[in-house]
Amino acid sequence: MGGHEKIPYHLKTIHGRSNKPPNPYIRLEVDTFTARTKSIKRTSNPVWNEGFTFAALSSSTICIRAKNDAAIFKPQLLGEVAVVVETLLATGKDMQDVVLKLRTAGANGETQERGEITVRFWTEETVQASATAIAGAHQAVEDKLEDDSSPAKSMEAIVSKLKVFADIVDEAAKVWKLACVMEY
């Protein structure tokens, strides 16, 4: 799949870790899409469990910023990371966690680690293919049980459908469309 086609992606923030207890939230920016999680009060290990859906190119950059909502004048940057969608796709398999370090610029210009975000990706097509395969296998087993009461033949039908399902999942894992779950 080329880098010229916008693809639907999903993002779900789960939890994270920080070096000090702020009132953190996550701001996500991809191309023209912007979203944010709710703020979690005074914690270094926030739990959001929020999801987002956006369209992006495989060459698009995902910018993730952790901010402190307790700052007096404007939200304080706790740390950020920018990563190209294609890089995330190459880093992990579907439904596998990828840890990204949140950093800020120090006084001398060097970056300092301020926490981490764990991102989980999976393809929308994988979810759809899995659901279709499961529904098909279920229907085939029901049909087989109605047609023939022989336990051996029923078991053979089940095993056959499970193999088809496993093959579909293996192929779907190679697809470039994705969704992601994030932890901070």
Per-residue confidence in pLDDT tens, the chain, 184 aa: 555 777 767 666 656 666 667 888 889 899 999 999 899 888 888 877 777 777 788 899 989 888 888 767 788 888 888 888 888 777 655 656 667 788 888 778 888 888 887 766 655 655 566 667 777 776 776 676 666 566 767 677 777 777 777 777 666 554 444 444 444 4
At 104, give phi and psi (nearest 5°). -135, 160
Is residue 131 a part of any domain in this protein?
yes
For the chain, the domain total comes to: 2
Is residue 162 a part of any domain in this protein?
yes
Is residue 93 a part of any domain in this protein?
yes
90 and 63 housed in the same domain: yes
Range of the domain at 114: 7-124+175-183
Contact 184, 102 (CB under 8 A): yes
The strand ranges marked E within the chain are: 7-15, 17-18, 24-30, 33-36, 47-56, 61-68, 76-84, 96-105, 111-122, 179-183
115 and 45 housed in the same domain: yes
pLDDT of residue 31: 92
106 and 159 housed in the same domain: no
Is residue 2 a part of any domain in this protein?
no
pLDDT of residue 177: 41
114 and 161 housed in the same domain: no
CATH number at residue 31: 2.60.40.150
Q: Please count the CA atoms within 13 angstroms of the CA of 142 that sit on its side-chain side.
A: 6
pLDDT of residue 94: 60
Is residue 163 a part of any domain in this protein?
yes
**CA–CA separation, 62 vs 123, rounded Å?**
16
- Please give the model's pTM, rounded to 2 decimal places: 0.60
Taking Cα atoms as reference points, which of 11, 12, 55 lies closest to residue 33?
55
